[in-house]
Structure 1
Amino acid sequence: MDQLLDQFFNVAIMTKTFPLLLKGLVMTLKVCAIVVPVGLVAGLVAALCATSHRRWLRIMMVPYVDLFRAVPPLVLLIFIHSGLPFAGISLTPFQSVTLAFLLNNSAFYGEIYRAGIESIGAGQREAARSTGLTAFQTNLYVIIPQAVRNVLPDLLSNTIEVVKLTSLASVVALPELLYSADMARSITFNASPLVLAAAFYLVLLWPVVRLLSRLERRVAG
């Protein structure tokens, strides 16, 4: 038991490595601060295109959504960071991570939005248009608010996955939370920094998980 506590719950090592992990947490939050809001907007645009009455827009969105939902995020990240330089495009680790996760998650957000939009009856769109609203105004004031409310638990669930997905950024040496914890582990030869990183993730995500559970119960009820 003493060896277990010393290897995984060493308070002295946790205290010593706390500043390094805190910097990693800040980097994780920076990635999320870009990927989540931009991904939500890009996903909404993708959903509107996928449900448009213009056939060419719907056809154009199929390969985009299918490709970036099917390709594993890790493979996409490695391709962008290590493959694009052969085409003369060199990105920093932060840029590579942000672009890869944005492409992946905008496709998932788009499908969630699309399901929400398609859950709204066609009669509501027709009724809104009959009052003189344009197609844009109908989507903005009638369709999108209801669609978002219907799929809000799914949007939150995917956002939680985005935060956990940032741990893949360590592959390209972006000093996010997990990378920082692993560096601390390799220096101290102790797994306590990894446990501390897990505690950071728990503190960060637990309130969102509880909110998600409440929303799911409200929708189910």
Structure 2
Amino acid sequence: MEPFLNRVQAGRLLAEALRASLPDLAEHSGVIVLALPRGGVPPGLEVARALTAPLDVMLVRKLGVPGQPELAMGAITSGARVLNEDVIWHCGIRDEDLEAVASVERTELERRARRYRGDKPWPDLKDRCVILVDDGIATGATMEAAARAVREQQPAALVLAVPVAPQSTLTRFTPLVDRVVCLLTPEPFWSIGAWYRDFSQLTDEQVIAMLREADHLSREKGE
């Protein structure tokens, strides 16, 4: 398997796969793309552009194990929390340590919401076809939190779309989503970044610029 050049190329390939798999969802009113920032926004923009659908951000924060922040013990959104009980047990995480990490991440969620969305109202997802996009999935904690939060808003259909993920993680999403579209399921997986030649970190300013571009495209479509 060849790695993607960057997130933009991965998003364009993902959009092609989605366009081929969405005809049976055409009866649902209003497709909307929700990208997980920061890394999910470039592929999300390409998907939204190809499907002429609006783009918004689904704000999720990983709850990292104290001292091992890359190891997820869970994830939170503004409306849902998912915990990895196995990691919590094996690492001996105390309730107070978990809540301390969650408090820090909630603060960051609020900061990003203000920065990325301002006073823009949250879209009504009821009876819509929602496409959740990220640049990849590793453990699946953040995407699971996002999927559960979206499910509570009663979409007509929920599609999980990512360029790369391990098959074992994708299997966990079978009860949560209606469709999974993933371009690469390498074994061994290693990491998301291993499957991109350019996996540079994005800044808030880049995310905001892409969201503005998406808003501009949506206004043009409306005209």
- Larger RCO, structures 1/2 (Cα 8 Å, 6+ apart): 1
Structure in which a larger fraction of residues adopt strand: 2
TM (normalized to structure 1)? Answer: 0.24
Q: Which structure has the greater CA radius of gyration?
A: 1
Structure in which a larger fraction of residues adopt helix: 1
